[in-house]
Amino acid sequence: MKIGIPKEVYKAECRVAATPDTAKHLVKLGFDVLIESGAGESANFTNNAYVESECKIVPDAQTLWAEADIVLKVRPPQMHPELSKHEAELLNEGSTLIGFIWPAQNSELLDKLAAHKVTVLAMDAVPRITRAQKMDALSSMANLAGYRAVIEAANHFGRFFNGQITAAGKVPPAKVLVIGAGVAGLAAIGTAKSLGAIVRAFDTRLVVKEQIESLGAEFLELNFAEDGTGEGGYAKVMSEEFISAEMELFATQAKEIDIIITTALIPGKKAPVLVTQEMVESMKAGSVIVDLAAEQGGNCAVTKPGEIYCYKGVTIVGLTDLPSRMAQQASQLYGTNVYNLLKEMGGGDRFKINLEDEVIRGALVVHAGKITWPPPKKEDKGEKEDKGDKEDKANSSVKVSVSPSPRVPTSSSVNVTTSPSPRVWAPSSVPNSSYSKVNKDLWLVLIGLAIFGIGISAPSNFLSHLSVFVLACFIGWQVIWNVKPALHTPLMSVTNAISGIIIIGGMLQISEVSSSPTTILGAIAILIGTINICGGFLVTQRMLRMFQK
């Protein structure tokens, strides 16, 4: 079975669907790989490099499309400028096309591909599940886009990202706001933070808060019970009240932020406008906005897709080809994703379209001339069930969706969280506060009576051992409690506790003045235990100072 890798004809597209490295793996899967001459030159892959990977160089696109059983592309098929034909027309009947298709936006393209009775798998439609991560080309490209967005922002920003103190004066660090903490947003956060900037991030999905904070950024949170987590890990459309508070937060942040990077996209819909014209005008001169949603209209009201220009002192970056600007790395990642998909489909010897495979079925948008997108939901399998079974199944899987009425805050707030008040049981006739006081006094009385009873009836040896036990617990607790939280591991806790117990034991052994071996060993135990605890604290302080600026 032959795989064809044509040269991308989209304007300024530098990526290629297979690199010499991934092509070598395709050959090992049992495929014959055909490469159009010059297909990888824009990504710095020469024809000779493909030849060394056992690929065959085809001189023109017409021959390549005619010979290939499977065509791998990056961009969706479009009109070929040299052949004056649409690339969909170059496909052989019964052949397979794999690439980015964007079926939700390209219904006409799906009709055209179906008319030629081909099979099409969209890399952008691969389900975002754990098993399909190695085939998730969207995440691969979004990761590059987020990284490149920060690089573009740094290129157009007239200052350092990190704060510096120089002989000429103090330079404050740049303040970066990342809106949307998906794959691209997290990549942008990590890159900006590594460059030394003060990074803030916002997302409607509260589940990403820990991910944002783990990268060292500050999570901007609204005092709302509403959550924006949608299907497939994407964000959903929020209520009008939430959007109003969200826009108020962005307006406040825009006045002090130096760089804004927007990544908010909802699949199949126009990008929501999150940065209005008034917000842009309120930003400081020299600020930068990088709009990663420019290809879908943009999150910024003044974005011009594909352009970089200055709007009233603010640089607006609306580039739509950020992954392509890192063509070599992007091609390697994309080629690996495609290789994993073909491996999942059986390789060259056992290649097949398995409709029972959730990943393959999710990516399949056209099959043998029929449009198969969108894929059916899991419960719609077309199986014949009797009425009783259907009712039982319905009763056992009732889905209830309750949308909590959002609370409208008086003003947007940052890092404000609400937690439920603890419930304290108390008799209806006694208020909670008075009940707690009575309960506390009762416990003190009971403990006092217990100690008094033990002191009267217990033998003297028991009281001596009890005193030692209490003293050992107190010293061990203090030793553990004084460890810095950053280094409060179970190993450190156990070590200090053991050292404290050893010191108490040694003190008991040297209580009598003598030169017996037992007394000497007790003194040595006290010395070693003290060295262990003091040394541990000194090492802790040195380690903490390493991370202080």
Can you tell me the distance from the alpha carbon of 315 to that of 508, in angstroms, rounded to the nearest whole number?
A: 74
CA 62 to chain centre: 42
Instruction: Quote the longest CA-to-CA distance of the chain.
Output: 107
Which of 234, 361, 435, 493 is labelled catalytic? Answer: 234
Tell me whether residue 159 is one of the annotated catalytic residues: no
Looking at residue 296, the DSSP 8-state letter turns out to be G
Element (H, E) at 242: helix 240-254
Q: Which two tokens stand for residue 467?
A: 């005193």
* 9 within 8 A of 77, measured Cβ to Cβ: no
Looking at residue 229, the DSSP 8-state letter turns out to be B
Which of 136, 203, 258, 321 is labelled catalytic? Answer: 136
* 323 within 8 A of 144, measured Cβ to Cβ: yes
Tell me whether residue 515 is one of the annotated catalytic residues: no
* 262 within 8 A of 235, measured Cβ to Cβ: no
Task: Return the exposure string of 426-438: e unless at least 16 CB atoms fall within 10 Å of the residue's CB, then b.
Answer: eeeeeeeeeeeee
Can you tell me the distance from the alpha carbon of 423 to that of 318, in angstroms, rounded to the nearest whole number?
A: 52
Which of 139, 140, 324, 331 is labelled catalytic? Answer: 139
* 376 within 8 A of 194, measured Cβ to Cβ: no
Sequence-distant (≥ 6) Cβ neighbours of residue 43 within 8 angstroms: 14, 15, 16, 19, 327, 328, 330, 331
Can you tell me the distance from the alpha carbon of 531 to that of 420, in angstroms, rounded to the nearest whole number?
A: 46
Which of 133, 214, 464, 467 is labelled catalytic? Answer: 133
Which of 10, 37, 128, 239 is labelled catalytic? Answer: 128
Name the phi and psi angles at 396, rounded to 5: -85, -10
Can you tell me the distance from the alpha carbon of 264 to that of 257, in angstroms, rounded to the nearest whole number?
A: 18
Can you tell me the distance from the alpha carbon of 124 to that of 323, in angstroms, rounded to the nearest whole number?
A: 15
Tell me whether residue 234 is one of the annotated catalytic residues: yes
Q: What is the dihedral of CA 346, 351, 352, 358, to 10 degrees?
A: 30
Cα radius of gyration rounded to whole Å, the chain:
33
Helix 517-546 / helix 490-509 crossing angle, nearest 10 deg: 150
Tell me whether residue 392 is one of the annotated catalytic residues: no
Sequence-distant (≥ 6) Cβ neighbours of residue 295 within 8 angstroms: 305, 320
Tell me whether residue 131 is one of the annotated catalytic residues: no
DSSP conformation letters of 318-382: --S-TGGGGHHHHHHHHHHHHHHHHHHTTTTTS----TT-HHHHHHEEEETTEE--SPPPTT---
Just list the catalytic residues: 128, 133, 136, 139, 234
